[in-house]
Amino acid sequence: MGAAEAAALIPAGATVGMSGFTGSGHPKAVPQALAARIEAEHAAGRPFKVNVWTGASTSPELDGALAKVGGIAQRLPFQSDPLCRQRINAGEIDYVDIHLSHVAQQAWFGFLGPLDVAVVEVLGILPDGRLIPSASVGNNKTWLDIAQHVILEVNTLPPRELEGMHDIYYGTAIPPRRKPIHLEHATERIGEPYLRVDPAKVIAVVPTHHADRHTAFAKPDADSRAIAGHIIDFLAHEVQKGRLPKNMLPLQSGVGNVANAVLAGLLDGPFEELLGFSEVLQDGMLELIRTGKMRAASATAISLSPEAMREFTERIDFYRERIVLRSQQISNHPELVRRLGVIAMNAMIEADIYGNVNSTHLMGSAMMNGIGGSGDFARNGYLSFFVTPSTAKGGSISCIVPMVSHVDHTEHDTQIIVTEQGLADLRGLSPRQRAQVVIDRCAHPDWRPLLQDYFDRARRSGGAQHTPHLLGEALTWHQRWLDTGSMRP
């Protein structure tokens, strides 16, 4: 069936569960055809929007196309498309920002309402009807299970040799019938290589031949290399103190350039036989596997630059033995992240002196991307790092502030904060102790005196001294940036 015909089967107001995670495995044709249809309906004066659920971020062909025509009413759980972000921040899309490990279960519980249509990319359909998953698994199992109707896109471009790399777990259930998940090693297989679907629900099969979004990574800059250096020194120190095994524990690394650079840093680090237990496998982790530094990795998506994709495709038999792709409720499962003792490394927008972390909002109101899986890993991991350059926007913003303008990870969930300036180990510290360490180690020298001044005055203010604050002043840095383009007084 053609994409336009398939898109015609999606009614206005429908909730659509699409495949796609971090630019890979999203449907490439139906969303664009749906966007064209929406545009035509709008031109004819007829309202037409859909709710779009995915695994995580997608690409211009999905979020971009649908946002462009004003076709999205509700969006969840993670996005990073510039047009989609713009619509969210204009108040035109209701964006619901859910921990990635919570999405599938909330859909199953019925908390998010019914799912009308699933649009899922696969690489092929076996004679018995089972599906070969694509380069990401995301929430596909759940969408296929709970959607009333299913549209499949069969993409013949990605390497068919991905077959066998997936591990789809069919043991989940709704309480009170849940069982332990018997996964004890990061790259153990506990499921099946194929997705199942009830053939009676399949209303369209659309052939495509189209590449994933292969975004190039920025070459690690000096700041990223400094951040990576601090983390590696710290990990080596923890091994030496006996608080970490010699080959460490499974690594999770978040999205973005800095996170990727930290993995690049491990290439020259002293650690061998590493394991990955992450959401997304980016260039940095592939390189660790290629060089033998990392034994194997588990993720829910592979998202590579064009170059890395070439390497991956050429030696796919090598990689298939070293990479396991799972559903995102398994890759991010609190039970597993805690059991395995994952070392979590995630980028952030800002942290405050007390260790509260903002991963999602610019200046308190504007959505950047969403929380993604950062909370799943930060809360449940063995160690948790949050990293950022100490300043942003040409130095007009300090990424260490008196009080963050939005909290995604509370002081109870953050352990180690790292900027190019240094590393603040907050484990076992009270808020006052944390503040001094964060100011001394992480703040940029241009901003350090201002932060110290805030903290000192809050301590002398006569107010309560557990978490000394000057509430009248705590958010003025952000307000000043909005007013003048600089946080500087």
**Binding-site residue ranges for CoA:** 254-258, 349, 369, 373, 393
Q: How far is the CB of 382 from its own copies (least distance, A)?
A: 6
Angle, vertex CA 434, rays to CA 438 and CA 463, nearest 5: 115
Which of 6, 50, 65, 112: binder of its own copies (CB under 8 A)? Answer: 112
If binding is defined by CB under 6 A, does position 284 make contact with ligand COA?
Answer: no
Which of 258, 285, 367, 424: binder of ligand COA (CB under 6 A)? Answer: 258
If binding is defined by CB under 6 A, does position 348 make contact with ligand COA?
Answer: yes
335-361 burial code (b ≥16 CB/10 A, e <16):
ebbeebbbbbbbbbbbbbbbbbbbbbb
Stretch that binds its own copies, among 16-24, 240-248, 288-296, 444-452 (CB under 8 A): 240-248
If binding is defined by CB under 6 A, does position 23 make contact with ligand COA?
Answer: no
Binding at 399: pick from ligand COA, its own copies, none (beta carbon under 5-8 Å per type): ligand COA
Does residue 307 have an active-site annotation? no
* Identity of residue 71: G
Q: Diameter of the chain by CA atoms?
A: 75
Which of 307, 459, 484, 485: binder of its own copies (CB under 8 A)? Answer: 459
**Torsions phi, psi of 203, nearest 5?**
-100, -10
Catalytic residue (one of 153, 279, 287, 350): 279
Q: Identify any residues that bridge with 294 across adjacent strands, giving them in sequence order.
A: 274
Q: 311: how many CB neighbours lie within 10 A of its CB?
A: 17
Q: Which of residues 385-414 bind ligand COA (CB under 6 A)?
A: 392-393, 397, 399
CA–CA separation, 277 and 253 (whole Å): 9
Helices 306-314, 283-290: inter-axial angle, 10-degree rounding: 40
Q: 293: how many CB neighbours lie within 10 A of its CB?
A: 18
Token reading at 23: 């630019």
If binding is defined by CB under 8 A, does position 489 make contact with its own copies?
Answer: no
Q: How far is the CB of 254 from ligand COA (least distance, A)?
A: 3
Which of 250, 256, 269, 284: binder of ligand COA (CB under 6 A)? Answer: 256
Closest C-alpha to 301, from 321, 322, 323:
323
Shorter beta-carbon distance to ligand COA: residue 151 or 397: 397
Binding at 379: pick from ligand COA, its own copies, none (beta carbon under 5-8 Å per type): its own copies
Shorter beta-carbon distance to its own copies: residue 18 or 76: 76
If binding is defined by CB under 8 A, does position 106 make contact with its own copies?
Answer: yes
Q: Helix, strand, or coil here: 487?
A: coil
Q: Which of residues 172-211 bind its own copies (CB under 8 A)?
A: 174-176, 178-182, 184-185
Token reading at 161: 């040799």
Binding at 95: pick from ligand COA, its own copies, none (beta carbon under 5-8 Å per type): its own copies
- Site map for its own copies, 421-450, x if CB under 8 A? ------xxxx-xx-----------------
Stretch that binds its own copies, among 120-128, 151-159, 290-298, 360-368 (CB under 8 A): 360-368
Q: Which of residues 357-386 bind ligand COA (CB under 6 A)?
A: 359, 362, 368-369, 371-374
Q: 216: how many CB neighbours lie within 10 A of its CB?
A: 11
**Contact between 54 and 72 (Cβ < 8 Å):** no
DSSP 214-253: -PPPPPP-HHHHHHHHHHHHHHHHHHHTTSS-TT---EEE
- Cis omega (within 30 of 0) for bond into 77: yes
239, 244, 250, 256 alpha-carbon torsion, rounded to 10°:
-60
Q: Which helix (H) or strand (E) holds 280?
A: strand 280-281
- Site map for its own copies, 246-265, x if CB under 8 A? ---x----------------
If binding is defined by CB under 6 A, does position 420 make contact with ligand COA?
Answer: no
If binding is defined by CB under 6 A, does position 279 make contact with ligand COA?
Answer: yes
If binding is defined by CB under 6 A, does position 251 make contact with ligand COA?
Answer: no
If binding is defined by CB under 8 A, does position 380 make contact with its own copies?
Answer: yes
Closest C-alpha to 120, from 106, 131, 109:
131
Binding at 405: pick from its own copies, ligand COA, none (beta carbon under 5-8 Å per type): its own copies
CA–CA separation, 345 and 384 (whole Å): 6
Q: How far is the CB of 432 from its own copies (least distance, A)?
A: 7
Which of 149, 213, 230, 409: binder of its own copies (CB under 8 A)? Answer: 409
Binding at 160: pick from ligand COA, its own copies, none (beta carbon under 5-8 Å per type): none
Q: How far is the CB of 175 from its own copies (least distance, A)?
A: 2
CA–CA separation, 313 and 167 (whole Å): 19
| Residues that bind ligand COA in the complex, under the rule CB under 6 A | 254-258, 279, 346-350, 359, 362, 368-369, 371-374, 392-393, 397, 399
Task: Please give the positions annotated as active site.
Answer: 279
